[in-house]
Structure 1
Amino acid sequence: MTRKSRRLILIAACGSVLALAVGLILFAMSGSIVFFRSPTDIAQQGIAPGTRMRLGGLVKDGSLKRGPDQTVDFAVTDTNATVEVQYKGLLPDLFREGQGVVAEGMLEPGGRFRADTVLAKHDESYMPREVADALKAQGRWQEGGDKGAPKAGPKPVTASNGGTLGPRSER
């Protein structure tokens, strides 16, 4: 065997061992590489009670009920299935009915999800409360149709921290 052929055999062997290791790792993690499960996934997969996971979907309209001691009950839906959620603690500012949410916790025997962490999701049109308040004070806030985007205009808006914000086209 020549030196060149031994080197190629060594490289091929190392590459195949590396590919096998990556394949085994991905196979072992295949059940847990999920950012969150939807209510439909939970209903179809028959997940055992006590399983720790993340539940994602929309907060169902009319399902939000606040109880004593910062206990909150709400339902998460993906329009096909719904899961009842119970959470004790402070909710994020962006949490509201009809908005996206990811809750981390455990599934209980009755099918209720007991969350210990709730994360509110937002889209790219999210704007911090201080900026939105400054835009409303200047009369440049457009409710509804454009997902809360400010109206374009010639004058820049002064933010609450003293800086200025121009129209979206100038950013």
Structure 2
Amino acid sequence: MKPRHRRIAIVGAGLAALGLAALLVLNALQSNLVFFFSPSQVAAKAVPRAEAFRIGGLVEAGSVQRGSDGLTVRFVVTDLAQRVPVSYSGLLPDLFREGKGVVVAGRLLADGSFQATQVLAKHDENYMPPEAAAALEQARKSPAPLPMEAQP
């Protein structure tokens, strides 16, 4: 093989390896991507049915119900316009309280409730994820709440 052909083959192999690496990185990022939605978006069915996503809002006052096993918890996440019932099995963060901000990750069930795999509570009085704050502000500005389809 001539030196020129060898260089072209090496450059071609390098570009192919670089393309494969980029493809693997993009695939890994896509599979770990979790979208954020508000309870109003969940009620409007603007969420993926088969994929994991996050819901953010406030824990509705008086909605927390603890199971007899000590690990199962049911509560409602609201953006002050819509409500989404959430069930979670595990230890809750120390800052988890009624009336406080929360972001839950998991999947929407067929009955309209949300099965959480992770619960994140805001860490101080002044912080709320920007997406959750924007969703709450948007819900406050909306004219009238839509009826909730699934009650806990």
Q: Which TM bucket (shorter chain)? A: 0.5 to 0.7
Instruction: Quote the offset at 1:114 in angstroms.
Output: 2.2
Question: How far apart, CA to CA, are the structure 2 residues paired with 1:46 and 1:54?
Answer: 8
- Consecutive unaligned residues of structure 2, counting only runs of 5 or more, are 128-152
Residue 22 of structure 1 corresponds to 22
Taking CA–CA contacts closer than 8 Å with sequence separation of 6 or more, which of the two structures ends up with the larger relative contact order?
A: 2
Residue 59 of structure 1 corresponds to 58
Q: CA RMSD in A?
A: 3.7
Q: Letter of the aligned partner of 1:47 in structure 2? A: R
Equivalenced residue count is: 121
Cα distance per residue 1:77-124 (max 9 Å; x no partner): 4567542202244421111223132334x43210101224423243xx
Instruction: Quote the offset at 1:58 in angstroms.
Output: 1.9
Cα distance per residue 1:144-171 (max 9 Å; x no partner): 7xx49xxxxxxxxxxxxxxxxxxxxxxx
- TM-score between both structures, scaled by the size of structure 2: 0.54
**Distance change >3 Å, CA 118–CA 45, structure 1 → 2:** closer
Residue 107 of structure 1 corresponds to 108
Q: Letter of the aligned partner of 1:108 in structure 2? A: L
For 1:103-142, list aligned pairs within 5 A. 103-104=105-106, 106-122=107-123, 126=124
Residue 94 of structure 2 corresponds to 93
Q: Letter of the aligned partner of 1:6 in structure 2? A: R
Identity over aligned residues, as a percent?
36
- TM-score between both structures, scaled by the size of structure 1: 0.50
Residue 13 of structure 2 corresponds to 13
Q: Letter of the aligned partner of 2:77 in structure 1? A: V
**Distance change >3 Å, CA 27–CA 89, structure 1 → 2:** closer
Q: Which is higher, the Rg of structure 1 or of structure 2?
A: 1
Question: How far apart, CA to CA, are the structure 2 residues paired with 1:27 and 1:103?
Answer: 21
**Distance change >3 Å, CA 33–CA 103, structure 1 → 2:** closer
Instruction: Quote the offset at 1:47 in angstroms.
Output: 0.4
Instruction: Quote the offset at 1:19 in angstroms.
Output: 0.8
State whether residues 72 and 86 of structure 1, in contact with CA within 8 Å, keep that contact through their aligned partners in structure 2: yes
